[in-house]
């Protein structure tokens, strides 16, 4: 379809659906009509893809979250329709931004995991691989964040108000998923026949969201499963049904696709999470099996045509569920079913934090998924028998590798055992998986473990969100980088070209001014675009150490108060972060950031030189605005804790300079740009581990006065040895902690001071904020001094952009495709 046809179709749709013309229609109606036409085009493209897939292996990417961001502009750009569409709107006195503003940011994701999934779909489509995403069609996404008075308030994210327009219900693909009840197994000649009594059946219907490829004909679906009520037909059985029980169950199960990550502190919430996970995997696998059987004689070759990817442990129940379907529904014996299952599945671990190594209580799983439990037990019986034979005198190791322990089923062990390949998301993270998290598995089966470093959709994160920089790059080296991101390396020599650097500095200043205007419009205060924009944007978590950043800002504040005449380049610190609703410490840190921002803002003596802006409701759209305006990218997690990070890559791609620890993909950014173009500080991962093992005593970084003397502290001081702690540092940190105790903007933060000083749950701060402070401060100060020399700064910025191509998700996806999924792009001949 050419662009004119497209615009004409939108116009026809406006008339047919709303009885309106393009010049009289409201932006919302134009938005709906445009999306409707885009959706139809993409549906047609994806149907032709389904045909091609019959003869080719495809990947199914299972993830509880897809943080796709707004789609109107990115889809129009990818489909080559954007420019003409804008002209067409302008001719009718309409404006693209007003139409685009009708789209809410679909918050059907939580953080890095979901955004990575979205970037991967973009690259899979751009590279024309046969692929589909699978997730749930949540009625509500992650909460919308408000922060009145610094307190996080979570409002429902009703993304479907504008998001529904993108969805195509696929009624014909509806499947049934069963929960609860009792299972009767009868074995005959190694084959089992299963009968269910009293199970509750939920219908799952996919709502498809399509992702277009970049300037090709691809359209990949993300199938979002939604609960639909089962039609009740009269029959003698039904008339005997306990209807009260039915209503109770219906109320519970209808919530399966209600909300992303419901609170799971109570039993009911945990059960709901398990049901969500099972609903996703069962519906997905049934869908894949029926698609396979519609064009193949049997499931014997299922794994030759299907690569099924599990993201974090949430979809790990795909393993017993595929076993169940193969054995119970399709008559396979155990060994054959297991071979097919392991050959089809692969698993990516996205964090070493315990929350992603899920464990489900045995009683909960038995009540909810009785048949799955019997399969898990059998997987585990065989696993532990095999391990005991291979490791005869290592009962402890075998117990640690078991799928069951302390009354829990361990989803991470399951994911490792049931997959042919396990990968981490950066070099250092994959190494930690091999050496620590899954070391026992890795020593038995080293070839199972590999690394694929994350990547980002550079077409969204550079071409779309930073048009000025994109134009400069295109003028300088052409537009080859749009399809071949490593072409950006051709920019490298321009780091030494003053004209290029000046043009870069110029456009950065404009981006900063635009962002300042936006902040002023939305939040009331206008940041100074001539100050350094220093950015930390990510989920709020102790390990990401927004607290360390706040401590340093307090340090700068104190220094400005004590020595107002000092030469101080104005600096604005931006934070944006959502805290998990039940995460008390994260909410306290958020409150500190907010209070500190207010306290500095009311202090006339410093506010022109130092400010802290907390931007509420961090999401993809806000990230797209702030990243092109950033000078400094803070990536300061405690080494060993951030699996990869992808914000670090987005900021680098836009020329921000990283101030970070040797953690996650920072390590590879350092490798790419060299040590003169990135600013690394702090303990490395091995040092962190050694320090925590030896005993970390934060009090040695503070003035000794008034310190309670106890034996534990004395031994810790000795073992923490390596750093020399001078008195000036102790004074700085003590006065910062005093300030927390005294209160900031009327709020007392003694709890945070105590956390930093003595820790909680009888362990000192495991994220080592005080320990890394001195090096952080030194490195940040050095970096800041460089900002005063724009020639040098923009040379560094240019080198960062030039070397960022290797972090395109196109590159990650090629690696997954070639090394893990073993899939090929679709042949050009399908068109």
Smallest distance from the beta carbon of 544 to ligand 26V, in angstroms?
A: 8
29 forms part of the interface with ligand 26V (CB under 6 A): no
Task: Enumerate helices (H) and strands (E) in the chain, giving the number of each.
Answer: 34, 23
- Considering beta carbons, is residue 380 or 546 the nearer one to ligand 26V? 546
642 forms part of the interface with ligand 26V (CB under 6 A): yes
Residue 650 annotated among the catalytic residues of the structure: yes
**Cα gap 575→825, rounded to integer Å:** 40
- Considering beta carbons, is residue 46 or 809 the nearer one to ligand 26V? 809
**Cα gap 755→733, rounded to integer Å:** 14
Smallest distance from the beta carbon of 167 to ligand 26V, in angstroms?
A: 23
Site string for ligand 26V, 154-173 (x = CB under 6 A): --------------------
CB under 8 Å to 238, separation ≥6 — which residues? Answer: 232
- Considering beta carbons, is residue 118 or 593 the nearer one to ligand 26V? 118
Point out the catalytic residue in the list 453, 470, 646, 658: 646
Residue 350 annotated among the catalytic residues of the structure: yes
Smallest distance from the beta carbon of 604 to ligand 26V, in angstroms?
A: 40
Smallest distance from the beta carbon of 816 to ligand 26V, in angstroms?
A: 12
Options 113, 433, 620, 656; binder of ligand 26V; rule CB under 6 A: 113
454 forms part of the interface with ligand 26V (CB under 6 A): yes
Return the structure tokens found at 761. Answer: 């749950």
Closest by CA position to 89, among listed 104, 70, 76: 76
Options 130, 616, 664, 698; binder of ligand 26V; rule CB under 6 A: 664
Binding segment for ligand 26V (CB under 6 A), chosen from 31-39, 248-256, 643-651, 725-733, is 643-651
Point out the catalytic residue in the list 9, 22, 448, 538: 538
Could you identify the residue written with the tokens 């800041």?
784
**Cα gap 458→462, rounded to integer Å:** 5
Options 644, 808, 809, 812; binder of ligand 26V; rule CB under 6 A: 644
Smallest distance from the beta carbon of 214 to ligand 26V, in angstroms?
A: 22
- Considering beta carbons, is residue 425 or 595 the nearer one to ligand 26V? 425
**Cα gap 320→275, rounded to integer Å:** 14
Neighbour tally for 48: CB within 10 Å: 15
Residue nearest to ligand 26V (CB): 112
Point out the catalytic residue in the list 324, 539, 700, 806: 539
Total number of residues that touch ligand 26V (CB under 6 A): 20
Side by side, the strands of the sheet bearing 359-361 are 359-361, 408-410, 404-405
**Cα gap 625→631, rounded to integer Å:** 13
Smallest distance from the beta carbon of 796 to ligand 26V, in angstroms?
A: 24
**Cα gap 484→487, rounded to integer Å:** 6
Binding segment for ligand 26V (CB under 6 A), chosen from 106-114, 292-300, 459-467, 715-723, is 106-114
Return the structure tokens found at 222. Answer: 């993300």
Residue 784 annotated among the catalytic residues of the structure: no
Residue 397 annotated among the catalytic residues of the structure: no
Smallest distance from the beta carbon of 660 to ligand 26V, in angstroms?
A: 12
**Cα gap 367→95, rounded to integer Å:** 55
Using CB under 6 A, which residues numbered 347 to 366 contact ligand 26V?
350-351, 355-356
580 forms part of the interface with ligand 26V (CB under 6 A): yes
CB under 8 Å to 57, separation ≥6 — which residues? Answer: 130, 304, 305, 306, 307, 821, 822, 823, 824
**Cα gap 580→701, rounded to integer Å:** 30
Options 261, 338, 360, 594; binder of ligand 26V; rule CB under 6 A: 261
Residue 544 annotated among the catalytic residues of the structure: yes
* CA separation, residue 485 to residues 13, 300, 645 (Å): 37, 39, 19
Point out the catalytic residue in the list 273, 309, 650, 806: 650
425 forms part of the interface with ligand 26V (CB under 6 A): yes
CB under 8 Å to 619, separation ≥6 — which residues? Answer: 69, 105, 107
- Considering beta carbons, is residue 351 or 633 the nearer one to ligand 26V? 351
133 forms part of the interface with ligand 26V (CB under 6 A): no
Options 29, 34, 60, 110; binder of ligand 26V; rule CB under 6 A: 110
- Considering beta carbons, is residue 253 or 807 the nearer one to ligand 26V? 807
**Cα gap 637→659, rounded to integer Å:** 11
Point out the catalytic residue in the list 205, 508, 544, 739: 544
815 neighbors 450 (Cβ within 8 angstroms): no
636 forms part of the interface with ligand 26V (CB under 6 A): no
Q: Label residues 116-151 b or e (16+ Cβ within 10 Å = b).
A: bbbbbbbbbbbbbbbbbbbbbbbbbbbbbbebeebe
116 forms part of the interface with ligand 26V (CB under 6 A): yes
Options 322, 643, 659, 823; binder of ligand 26V; rule CB under 6 A: 643
Q: Which one-letter DSSP state was computed for residue 66?
A: -
Give the start-end residues of each E strand in 504-576. 532-537, 571-576
22 neighbors 30 (Cβ within 8 angstroms): yes
Options 11, 102, 122, 312; binder of ligand 26V; rule CB under 6 A: 312
584 forms part of the interface with ligand 26V (CB under 6 A): no
272 forms part of the interface with ligand 26V (CB under 6 A): no
320 forms part of the interface with ligand 26V (CB under 6 A): no
585 neighbors 755 (Cβ within 8 angstroms): yes
Cα-Cα-Cα-Cα torsion 314, 318, 319, 324, nearest 10 degrees, comes to: 140
The radius of gyration computed from the CA coordinates of the chain, to the nearest angstrom, equals: 28
Smallest distance from the beta carbon of 112 to ligand 26V, in angstroms?
A: 3
Residues within the interface to ligand 26V (CB under 6 A): 110-113, 116, 261, 312, 350-351, 355-356, 425, 454, 580, 642-646, 664
**Catalytically annotated residues:** 350, 538-539, 544, 646, 650
């Amino acid at each position: 379809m050419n662009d004119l046809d497209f615009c004409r179709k939108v116009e026809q749709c406006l008339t047919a659906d709303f009885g309106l013309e393009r010049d009289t229609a409201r932006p919302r109606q134009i938005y709906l009509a445009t999306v409707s036409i885009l959706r139809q085009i993409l549906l047609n493209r994806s149907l032709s893809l389904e045909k091609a897939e019959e003869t080719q292996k495809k990947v199914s990417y299972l993830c509880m979250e897809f943080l796709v961001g707004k789609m109107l502009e990115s889809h129009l750009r990818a489909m080559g329709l954007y420019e003409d569409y804008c002209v067409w709107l302008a001719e009718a006195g309409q404006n693209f931004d007003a139409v685009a503003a009708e789209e809410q940011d679909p918050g059907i994701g939580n953080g890095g995991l979901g955004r990575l999934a979205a970037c991967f779909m973009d690259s899979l489509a751009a590279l024309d691989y046969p692929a589909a995403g699978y997730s749930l069609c949540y009625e509500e996404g992650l909460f919308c964040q408000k922060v009145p008075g610094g307190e996080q308030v979570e409002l429902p994210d009703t993304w479907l108000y504008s998001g529904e327009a993108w969805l195509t219900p696929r009624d014909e693909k509806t499947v049934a998923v069963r929960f609860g009840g009792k299972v009767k197994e009868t074995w005959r000649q190694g084959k089992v026949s299963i009968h269910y009594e009293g199970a509750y059946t939920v219908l799952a219907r996919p709502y498809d969201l399509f992702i277009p490829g970049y300037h090709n004909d691809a359209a990949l679906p993300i199938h979002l499963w939604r609960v639909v009520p089962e039609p009740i037909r009269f029959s003698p059985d039904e008339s005997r049904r306990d209807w009260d029980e039915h209503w109770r169950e219906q109320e519970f199960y209808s919530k399966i696709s209600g909300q992303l990550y419901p609170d799971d502190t109570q039993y009911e919430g945990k059960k709901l999470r398990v049901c969500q996970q099972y609903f996703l995997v069962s519906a997905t696998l049934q869908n894949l099996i029926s698609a396979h059987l519609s064009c193949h004689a049997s499931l014997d070759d299922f794994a030759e045509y299907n690569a099924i990817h599990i993201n974090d442990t949430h979809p790990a129940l795909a393993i017993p569920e595929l076993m169940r379907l193969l054995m119970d529904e399709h008559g396979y014996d155990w060994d054959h079913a297991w071979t097919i299952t392991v050959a089809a599945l692969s698993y990516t671990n996205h964090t070493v934090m315990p929350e992603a190594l899920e464990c489900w209580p045995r009683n909960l799983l038995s009540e909810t998924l009785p048949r799955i439990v019997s399969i898990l037990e059998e997987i585990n019986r065989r696993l532990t028998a095999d391990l005991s034979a291979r490791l005869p005198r290592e009962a402890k190791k075998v117990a640690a590798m078991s799928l069951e322990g302390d009354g829990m089923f361990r989803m991470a062990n399951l994911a490792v055992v049931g997959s042919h390949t396990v990968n981490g998301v950066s070099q250092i993270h994959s190494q930690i998986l091999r050496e620590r998290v899954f070391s026992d598995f890795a020593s038995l089966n080293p070839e199972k473990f590999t690394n694929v470093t994350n990547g980002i959709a550079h077409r969204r994160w550079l071409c779309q969100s930073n048009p000025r920089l994109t134009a400069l790059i295109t003028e300088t080296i052409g537009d080859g980088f749009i399809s071949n991101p490593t072409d950006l390396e051709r920019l490298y020599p321009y780091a030494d070209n003053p004209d290029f650097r000046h043009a870069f500095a110029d456009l950065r200043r404009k981006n900063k001014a635009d962002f300042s205007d936006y902040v002023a419009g939305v939040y009331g205060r206008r940041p100074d675009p001539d100050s350094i924009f220093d950015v930390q944007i990510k989920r709020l978590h102790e390990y990401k150490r927004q607290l360390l950043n706040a401590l340093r800002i307090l340090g700068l504040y104190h220094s400005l108060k004590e020595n107002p005449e000092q030469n101080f380049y104005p600096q604005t610190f931006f934070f944006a972060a959502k805290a998990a609703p039940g995460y008390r410490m994260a909410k306290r840190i958020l409150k500190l950031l907010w209070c500190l921002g207010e306290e500095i803002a009311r202090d006339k003596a410093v506010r022109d030189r130092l400010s802290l802006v907390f931007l509420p409701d961090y999401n993809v759209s806000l990230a797209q605005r702030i990243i092109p305006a950033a000078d400094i990218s803070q990536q300061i997690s405690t080494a060993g804790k951030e699996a990869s990070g992808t914000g670090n890559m987005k900021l680098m791609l836009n020329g921000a300079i990283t101030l970070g620890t040797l953690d996650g993909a920072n390590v590879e950014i350092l490798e790419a740009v060299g040590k003169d173009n990135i600013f690394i500080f702090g303990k490395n991962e091995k040092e962190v581990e050694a320090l925590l093992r030896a005993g970390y005593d934060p009090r040695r970084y503070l003035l000794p006065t008034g310190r309670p003397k106890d034996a534990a502290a004395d031994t810790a001081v000795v073992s923490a040895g390596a750093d020399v702690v001078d008195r000036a540092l102790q004074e700085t940190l003590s006065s910062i902690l005093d300030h927390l105790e005294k209160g900031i903007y009327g709020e007392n933060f003694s709890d945070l001071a105590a956390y930093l000083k003595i820790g909680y749950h009888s362990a000192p701060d495991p994220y080592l904020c005080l320990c890394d402070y001195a090096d952080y401060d030194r490195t940040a100060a050095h970096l800041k001094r460089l900002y005063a020399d724009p020639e040098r700064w923009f040379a560094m910025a240019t080198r960062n952009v030039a070397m960022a191509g290797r972090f395109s998700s196109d590159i990650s996806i090629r690696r997954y495709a070639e090394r893990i999924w073993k899939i090929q792009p679709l042949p050009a001949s399908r068109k």
